[in-house]
Amino acid sequence: MEPSWKDLTSTPTGALLTVASDINGELSGSVHSAHGMLSLLADATRALRAGTIPAELRDFGDDVVLALDAREPSAVLTGAIMELLRLSGLHTRAHPFTEAWKEHRRHAVDHTRDAMKKLQSAASMARKFEIALRRVPQMTVAPVLFSPTWTAWTSLVLCLANDAVVTTELALHALRRMRDAVVLELQEVSRIANRNR
DSSP state letters, the chain = -PPPHHHHHTSHHHHHHHHHHHIIIIIHHHHHHHHHHHHHHHHHHHHHHTT---GGGTT-GGGTGGGT-SS-HHHHHHHHHHHHHHHHHHHTTS---SHHHHHHHHHHHHHHHHHHHHHHHHHHHHHHHHHHHTTHHHHTSTTTTTSHHHHHHHHHHHHHHHHHHHHHHHHHHHHHHHHHHHHHHHHHHHHHHHHT-
- Res. 1: pLDDT tops 50: no
Q: Per-residue confidence at 67, pLDDT binned at 50, 70, 90?
A: low
Do 126 and 101 touch, CB atoms closer than 8 A?
Answer: no
Q: Residue 183 — very low, low, confident or very high, per pLDDT cuts 50/70/90?
A: very high
% the chain with pLDDT above 90: 50
Could you tell me the pLDDT band of residue 65, with boundaries at 50, 70 and 90? very low
pLDDT at 82 over 90: yes
Per residue, what are the HEC states of 105-135?
Answer: HHHHHHHHHHHHHHHHHHHHHHHHHHHHHCC
Q: CA dist 95 to 6, 15, 30, 156, Å? A: 17, 10, 28, 47
Residue 52 pLDDT exceeds 80: no
pLDDT at site 69 = 46
Q: HEC states along 8-21?
A: HHCCHHHHHHHHHH
How sure is the predictor about 187, in pLDDT bands with cuts at 50, 70 and 90? very high
Q: What is the mean pLDDT of residues 166-182?
A: 96
Average pLDDT, the chain: 84
Per-residue pLDDT averaged across 54-64, rounded?
56
State residue 8's pLDDT score.
52
Q: Please report which confidence band the pLDDT of residue 28 belongs to, taking 50, 70 and 90 as the band edges.
A: very high
Q: What percent of the chain has pLDDT over 70?
A: 82
CATH of domain 8-195: 1.20.120
Instruction: Please say whether the dihedral angle defined by the alpha carbons of residues 8, 10, 14 and 15, taken in this order, is positive or negative.
Output: positive
- Most confident range, picked from 22-31, 55-64, 65-74, 90-99: 22-31
Query: Is 30's pLDDT higher than 60?
Result: yes
Once rounded to an integer, what is the mean pLDDT over residues 15-23?
A: 92
